[in-house]
Chains A and B, each alone.
Chain A
Amino acid sequence: MKPSGRVTAVAATLLVLSMVSSVLLLQQVDKVRSNATLKEVLYISSPKTIKRLSLGYNSLMADIYWTRAVQYFGGKLHAGDRHYELLGPLLEITTGLDPKLLVAYEYGSNFLGAPPPLGAGDPQQAIQLIEFGIKNNPDQWHLYYDLGFVYYLELKDYQAAEKAFEAGSHTPNAHPFMKLMAGNMAQHAGEYEMARMLWTATYQSAYEKLIRANAAAHLRAITVDEDVLALNQIVARYRNEKGHLPQSFADLISAGLLRGVPQDPLGHSYKLAADGSIEVADPDSLPFIQHGLPPGYVPTQAVKLLPVE
C-alpha cells in the first residue's frame, strides 16, 4: 500500500470510530440529562418572541412546534405518564405562531381536556385554546363542536355546551349534528344518548386514526355500559321471579329473558359472576368502561386503543 493510501485507510477508520464514539457518548449524556432537550427549547415560551425570531417564516415554525406537541403527547401517552406540563405551552406557541392551524385546536383540545392517562385532564386550558381558535377562525364549525364537547364531556356544563353547539350550528357548512346536539343539551337528554352522538360525530369527522380509534373505543364503552346495566336488570328480574340468582346465561335464556349468550362489541361473551353481576371478558381491550369491570381490576398504565381499520 502506498503511503497516501495508508493515511486514507487510517483516517477513514479513525473517522468511523470517532463517529461511533460520539454517538455512544451522546447516548450517555442523554441518560444523565433526561428530558433536557425539550425543556431547553421551551426556555423561550413566548409565542411573540418566537414569531419575531422566525423572520416571517412563522407558519413553518408552527408546524415544527405542532410536531413537538404531538411527539410530547404521544411519548407521554405511550409511557403511561400522567403529567403533561409542557403540552399547554407547546400548543399556545403553535397557535400563536399560526392562528389558522386548525388541527392544533381540534386535536390539541382533545389532548388537553381528556382525563389522564389519555390526556392532560385540564379542560379549562382546552377551552382557552379553542376560544382562541374561534376568535381567529369564527367560521369553523369544528371548533364550536370541540368547545361543546369539552363543556359537556369534561365539565358536564350543559348550558355552556348548548351555547357552543348552537353558535356552531350557524356557521357555514356546519354539521347537521350541531343543531341536534344543541337541542339535546337543552333538554338534558339521556347521558348515553348524548355521549354516543358526540363520539359518533367525532368518529365521522376525524381523519386521524388515533382520534378515530379513541372515538371508537368510547363508543364501544358506551355500548358495554348500556349492555351491563340492561343485563343487571334482567338478572334482578330473574331473581324476583325465581327467588334465586341465575347460575348461567342458560338459565336466563330458558326463562325467556334472553335470546342467546350476550356478547360485547368485540365479540367476547359477557360473564355472569356467582354474585349475579355481569363482567366483561377482556377489560384491557375495553378502556373507558364504567360498568362490567371484574372486582379488583387495575387498568393498564397505557390505554389500549384498537385500530379502526
Chain B
Amino acid sequence: MSARILHIASNTFREAVRDRVLYNLIAFAVLMSGAAILVGQISINIERLVVINLGLTAISLFGIVIAIFIGIGLVSKEIDKRTLYTVLSRPVRRWEFIAGKFCGLGGTLVVNTICMAVGIFAALLYIWPHHLQASDTSILVALYFIILQFLIITALALLFSSFSSPLLSAIFAFALFVIGTFSEDLRGFAQMTHGAERWLATAAAYMVPNISALNVIAQVAHEQQIPGQLIVLNTAYALVYSFMALLGAVLIFERRNLK
C-alpha cells in the first residue's frame, strides 16, 4: 500500500474520531451492561444468548449506520469544504484518494468492533464468571463476518457518494443493505421465473451483496461451529465484492468533473 493511501487513511480515521464516531461505544456499553444485568431478572435461561445476540446485532447495526453515514460524506464533504482540491493538487491520484478513504473508514470500523467485542466478552464473564467456553471463540468468527459486511457497505457508500448526493447515497446504500439481507430469497424467487426474466432476476439477485451469508449470529449463539470453508469463501466474496464496488467508485470519480 502506498504511503499516500496510508496517509489519507490515517487522516480519515482521525477525522472520524474527531466527529465523535466512537461515542457509539458508550451507547454500546450501556446496552451490554443493561442486558447482562437485567435479562436474568426478566427472562428465563437466555442470559448468555441475549448477550451474544444483542451484542453482535448491536455491533452490526451500529457499524452499518457508521459505514453508511460516514461513507457517504467521505467524498462529498471534501468537495463541499474544498479540501479535495488541496489534496488532489498534490501528487495524489484520484484512485489513491478513494482507496485511502476506504481504508480509513474500514480501520475506524475495525477499531470500533474490537472495542465492542471486548464489551461482549466482559458481559459474558459478568453473567458467568470464569466460564468462557471454547465455543465462545466462534463469536470471533461472527465478528469477522460483521467486519466483512462493513467493508462491503463502506465500499457501496463510497460508490454512491462518488456520483450522488449524500441523502440519495444513504438511501441507496441502506436499501442495498436491506435487499442484501434477502439475497438468498431473491435467488430463490429467480429460480421460479422462466426465460429472459429468469436471467434478469438471477443477475439482479447476484448483483446485490449477499449480506445474509455473512450473518452467523444465530449459529454462534447456539454454539454451532462455522465451517472453515465458509470463512474462506465469505472472505473471498466480501473482498471481491468490495473491490468491485471500489473499482466502480474509482471509475466514476476518475471521470468526474470537479471544477
> Given A107-B44, A207-B45, are A100 and B53 neighbors across the interface (CB < 8 Å)?
no
Q: What are 8 A-B pairs with beta-carbon distances under 8 A?
A: A57-B61, A59-B49, A63-B39, A67-B43, A67-B46, A98-B218, A103-B44, A107-B45
Minimum CB–CB distance from B128 to chain A (whole Å) comes to: 12
B178 with A59: CB separation less than 8 A: no
Is B211 part of the binding interface, using a Cβ–Cβ cutoff of 8 Å?
A: yes
Query: What is the interface of chain A mostly: helix, strand, loop, or mixed?
Result: helix
8 Å CB contact of A208 from B44, B60, B178, B215: B44
> Given A56-B211, A60-B54, A107-B45, are A67 and B217 neighbors across the interface (CB < 8 Å)?
no
A207 to B212, CA, bound (A): 34
8 Å CB contact of B42 from A57, A58, A71, A207: A71
B46 with A57: CB separation less than 8 A: no
The proximity string for B residues 35-52 relative to A, scoring 1 for CB distances below 8 Å and 0 otherwise, is: 000010011111001100
8 Å CB contact of A57 from B43, B50, B57: B57
8 Å CB contact of B45 from A52, A57, A58, A208: A208
Is B222 part of the binding interface, using a Cβ–Cβ cutoff of 8 Å?
A: yes
| Chain A residues closer than 8 Å to B182, beta-carbon distance | 52
B181 with A59: CB separation less than 8 A: no
| Chain A residues closer than 8 Å to B46, beta-carbon distance | 63, 66-67, 101, 103
A57 with B217: CB separation less than 8 A: yes
B42 with A70: CB separation less than 8 A: yes
Which residue of A is nearest B58, CB measured?
A60
Minimum CB–CB distance from A25 to chain B (whole Å) comes to: 25
User: How many chain B residues have a CB neighbour from A under 8 Å?
Assistant: 23
Query: What is the interface of chain B mostly: helix, strand, loop, or mixed?
Result: helix
Is A29 part of the binding interface, using a Cβ–Cβ cutoff of 8 Å?
A: no
Minimum CB–CB distance from A173 to chain B (whole Å) comes to: 15
Is A210 part of the binding interface, using a Cβ–Cβ cutoff of 8 Å?
A: yes
A303 to B31, CA, bound (A): 35
B178 with A63: CB separation less than 8 A: no
| Chain A residues closer than 8 Å to B50, beta-carbon distance | 60, 63
| Chain A residues closer than 8 Å to B217, beta-carbon distance | 56-57, 59-60
| Chain B residues closer than 8 Å to A63, beta-carbon distance | 39, 43, 46, 49-50, 53-54
A103 to B44, CA, bound (A): 8
B39 with A67: CB separation less than 8 A: yes
| Chain A residues closer than 8 Å to B53, beta-carbon distance | 57, 59-60, 63
Minimum CB–CB distance from B39 to chain A (whole Å) comes to: 7
B178 with A55: CB separation less than 8 A: yes
A207 to B215, CA, bound (A): 30
| Chain B residues closer than 8 Å to A70, beta-carbon distance | 42-44
